[in-house]
Amino acid sequence: MTADSGHSAEQPGLPGALAETLRYGPFHRALHDAIAHRGLSLARLRAHLESLGVQVGQSTLSYWQRGLRHPEVPRAIGTVRALETVLRLPAESLVALVGQRPQPRPPRPAFAEMAGTWVRTRPLLGEFDSANADLEVLLVHDSVLVGTQGEQRSITTRLVVRALHGGPDRYVAVHQGDEGCVIDNAIVRAGEGCRQGRVRRQSSSRGLAFELLFDRRLAEGEEHVFSFTVLDDTGGPTPGHHRTFRRACRGYLLQLAFNRRALPARCTKQIRDSAQSPALEVDELICGLGGVASAYFGEIGPGMAGISVEWT
């Protein structure tokens, strides 16, 4: 069933496409289009809402505009009306769409999260395909070291996982090198809480899949912390680093450390539905005196999150 806001398709001051989605929905599409029309980042939108006395999390706004969550009735109606004010929309245009529930998404693959592009590296997985099905990823921290030529030199990852069922004793990670890299030269080094298992490489996708073996089988509900580093410094100037989350993750911290003699022209924090989709959120980042650009994503996924880098 579609909702009708009661407004004509061509509402004054609104482009036809936005007016159409405000009339027919769904809610998340109308909200996304209205935010894009106003040109606001979610951080700025949240600040405007706070100035009206409305408290709402940036992650909640992100989930609403992506259709991953829906405003709860009647609790969220006041927030939705405030959104109409900030986004300069006709009164009740978004409220009329709140009762329209998005269709559930199909089940996601077993991999909870991974770096690089899923489609290009998926053929690598083979016997690894369901390795992470019994693990919930709680937190991820990626620390990327960038060299004097703008090349990605190393990625150190630390994860906190929880066993959904008893028995998991390993984690499978996927890495995709930057353009021009020689993936056969990439080195994996296990850190705390794990040791290296099998490794698979694919030159055509610049992809690398590898096992991190725990020292025991985890009990149901048990949490485990481990880390690893990928050394892969043969590519050209990096366009940034992005991680794909196939299921929800409570927090993701990404840090890019640049050489002070080769600082980028611009860094932006971005969230996307997939590698092929346009950015849903873009926030400018400051690369401080230490040459580090940091981005934190709370309650991320499903989707892709990362930092994009421009050199000129």
pLDDT in tens, 130-183: 678 899 999 999 999 999 999 999 999 999 999 988 899 999 999 989 999 999
User: What's the confidence (pLDDT) of residue 60?
Assistant: 87
User: What's the confidence (pLDDT) of residue 29?
Assistant: 85
| 71 Cβ contact partners less than 8 Å away, ≥ 6 residues apart | 27, 64, 77, 79, 80, 98
Please give the structure tokens belonging to residue 59: 């992650």
User: What's the confidence (pLDDT) of residue 19?
Assistant: 83
The domains of the chain are located at 16-97, 113-310
Tell whether the model's pLDDT for residue 294 goes beyond 70.
yes
- Summarised one tens digit per residue, pLDDT across range 106-116 is 444 444 444 44
Supply the Cα-derived Rg of the chain in whole angstroms: 21
Please give the structure tokens belonging to residue 46: 């949240």
Instruction: Quote the pTM value.
Output: 0.65
User: What's the confidence (pLDDT) of residue 127?
Assistant: 59
Q: pLDDT category, 305, cuts 50, 70, 90?
A: very high
Kindly report the length of the chain.
312
> CA–CA distance from 188 to each of 79, 124, 173, 231, 276 (Å)?
47, 16, 10, 6, 28
User: What's the confidence (pLDDT) of residue 243?
Assistant: 93
User: What's the confidence (pLDDT) of residue 100?
Assistant: 56
Weakest-pLDDT range from 52-56, 87-91, 238-242, 296-300: 296-300
Tell whether the model's pLDDT for residue 103 goes beyond 70.
no
- Summarised one tens digit per residue, pLDDT across range 183-207 is 999 999 999 999 999 999 988 888 8
- Summarised one tens digit per residue, pLDDT across range 115-134 is 444 344 455 555 566 678 89
Can you state the percent helix, strand and coil of the chain, rounding each to 5?
20, 35, 45
Q: pLDDT category, 78, cuts 50, 70, 90?
A: very high
Weakest-pLDDT range from 85-99, 117-131, 166-180, 285-299: 117-131
Would you identify the CATH topology of the domain 16-97? 434 Repressor (Amino-terminal Domain) (1.10.260)
- Summarised one tens digit per residue, pLDDT across range 23-73 is 888 898 889 888 988 888 888 999 999 999 999 988 888 888 877 788 888
Residues 25 and 4 sit within 8 Å (Cβ to Cβ): no
**Residue 241: closest CA among 205, 187, 200, 293:** 293
Please give the share of the chain, as a percent, with pLDDT higher than 90.
50
Weakest-pLDDT range from 99-103, 162-166, 306-310: 99-103
Tell whether the model's pLDDT for residue 9 goes beyond 50.
no
Tell whether the model's pLDDT for residue 213 goes beyond 70.
yes
Residues 255 and 142 sit within 8 Å (Cβ to Cβ): yes
Mean pLDDT of 274-290: 81
User: What's the confidence (pLDDT) of residue 107?
Assistant: 42
User: What's the confidence (pLDDT) of residue 175?
Assistant: 92
CATH architecture of 113-310: Sandwich (2.60)
**pLDDT top residue among 113 and 9:** 113
Distance CA 111, CA 247 (A): 8
What value does the mean pLDDT of the chain take? 84
